[in-house]
Amino acid sequence: MRVLYSDDVLAHVPRSEMKHGGMIPARESPARAELVRDALAAQGSFVFEEPSRAVPSALARVHDSDYLAFLEGAWPRWEAHIGAGNGGETPDAFPLIFPVRTLEDVRPSVIDGELSYYAMDTGTPLTAGAWMASLASVTSAAQAATCVSGGERAAFALTRPPGHHAAAGKFGGYCFLNTAAVAGQTLLDSGARKVAVLDIDYHHGNGTQSIFYERGDVLVVNIHADPDYEFPFFLGRAGETGRGAGEGATLNLPLARGTDWSGYSAALGQACRAIAKFGAQALVVSWGFDTFEGDPLSTFQISRDDFARMGERIAGLDLPTVIVLEGGYATASLGENVLAGLAGFAAGGRS
C-alpha cells in the first residue's frame, strides 16, 4: 500500500491543552506520526511517497477563504501581539471568548477576537507550525485520493494533526484542516459521482458532517461515542440525517460507554450496508485509533485484533479507498494498532 507522508506534519508542537479546568501536557504530539511512520517502515510492504507542496484545489472547496487566510497568518499576528511581553518565548495561542448564543456572530479584527471566532474549543492550541503541518496533511490526503483515482486499490495518508473536527470555518478537537473532506472532494473532482466517508474515530466527525450536510453526492457515516456523554457534544445524534439535497446522506451510529467488538461490529455492518446501498464509487476512511481499549480519551474496548477485523470488513466493500489517520492517543501502541488495521485491510476484499 502507498503511504503519503511528509515530515512537515511534525512541525505542529503544542505544549499543553486545557482539560477539566487546568492545563495538561498536549496529547496530540509529533510522536504519534513518528511512531506510525516507523512501524510501517519496519514492516517493509509499504511504499512511502512524499507529497508535493502544491496546495490542493479541493482545499478551497471545503474551507472558507477567510478561514484559510486566518490560519495561514495567525501565528505571526499572535507572536507580534503577545511575544514581546513574554520573555522572548511566545506561548501557544488559545481563544479568549466564544460568540455564544447571547452574543453577535461577528468577526473581530484583532487576533484575540479572531482566535475566538474561528475556534470551537479550548483544547486545541494553535502553534507556530500548525499551518505547515495541517497543509502537509491535506496535501497528503489529496494526493492519496489522486493515487486511488488513478487505479490504486487504496492509499494511506499519514496525517497529523487530525482533521475530522475541522469545519468549513472552525478549528477544534486538535483539528485545523479537514483531511477527509479534502480527500473526498478530490475524488469527486477526479470523476467519482458519489463518495462515502466512513468515520471510525471514537469522537464524532462533526466537521466532516457539517461540510457535506447539504450535499447528496457524499454520504457521511460516523460510528462514535454518543455525544450525550462525549466530545463534541453538539453534533452526532442519530436524528441528524442531512438537509436539503443532503437529506438521507448522513448516518450517525452513536454507541454507549464501554462498547466492545460485539457492539462495534454490528454498527460497522450497518455502516457498510448503508455505503453499499448509497452506490458510492469511492471511499474515504477517517480512521481514528482512539477506540482502543488503552486509549486515555476513550471508553471503548476495541483490541488490536479488532482493528484488523475492521480493516477486513471495510476492504469487503471493494471500493477504491483513501485512509486518513485521525485520533489515537495511546501513543506507545498507536504504530502497531495502525499496522494491524492496514494489514487487515490488505488481507480483505479483493485478492
165 catalytic? Reply is yes
pLDDT of 84 strictly over 80: no
Span 2-60+128-347: which CATH code?
Answer: 3.40.800.20
* Strand arrangement of the beta sheet that strand 218-225 belongs to: 47-49, 2-4, 154-157, 321-325, 282-287, 195-199, 218-225, 250-255
Per-residue pLDDT reduced to its tens digit, 133-185:
999 999 999 999 999 999 999 999 999 999 999 999 999 999 999 999 999 99
Q: Work out the pLDDT band at 20, boundaries 50, 70, 90.
A: confident
In the chain, where are the structural domains located? Answer: 2-60+128-347
- What percent of the chain is predicted at pLDDT more than 90? 90
Type of residue found at 328: G
Distance CA 73, CA 56 (A): 18
Per-residue pLDDT reduced to its tens digit, 331-344:
999 999 999 999 99
pLDDT of 85 strictly over 70: no
Angle at 30 between CA 28 and CA 33, to 5 degrees: 100
Q: Which is catalytic among the residues 12, 63, 164, 165?
A: 165
From start to end of the chain, where are the E strands? Answer: 2-4, 16-19, 22-25, 47-49, 154-157, 195-199, 218-225, 250-255, 282-287, 321-325
Distance CA 205, CA 247 (A): 18
Mean pLDDT of 35-60: 96
pLDDT of 23 strictly over 60: yes
pLDDT of 351 strictly over 50: no
- Residue 197 makes CB contacts below 8 A (sequence gap 6+) with 180, 181, 184, 205, 208, 212, 218, 219, 220, 221, 283, 284, 285, 286
Q: Across all residues in the chain, what is the average pLDDT? A: 96
Per-residue pLDDT reduced to its tens digit, 312-337:
999 999 999 999 999 999 999 999 99
pLDDT of 349 strictly over 60: yes
Mean pLDDT of 267-281: 98
| Crossing angle (nearest 10°) for helices 331-347 and 30-43 | 40
pLDDT of 191 strictly over 80: yes
Q: What's the pLDDT at 104?
A: 86
Q: What's the pLDDT at 86?
A: 59
User: Would you call 228 helix, strand, or coil by DSSP?
Assistant: coil
User: Would you call 209 helix, strand, or coil by DSSP?
Assistant: helix
pLDDT of 350 strictly over 60: no
User: What's the pTM?
Assistant: 0.96
Distance CA 158, CA 341 (A): 13
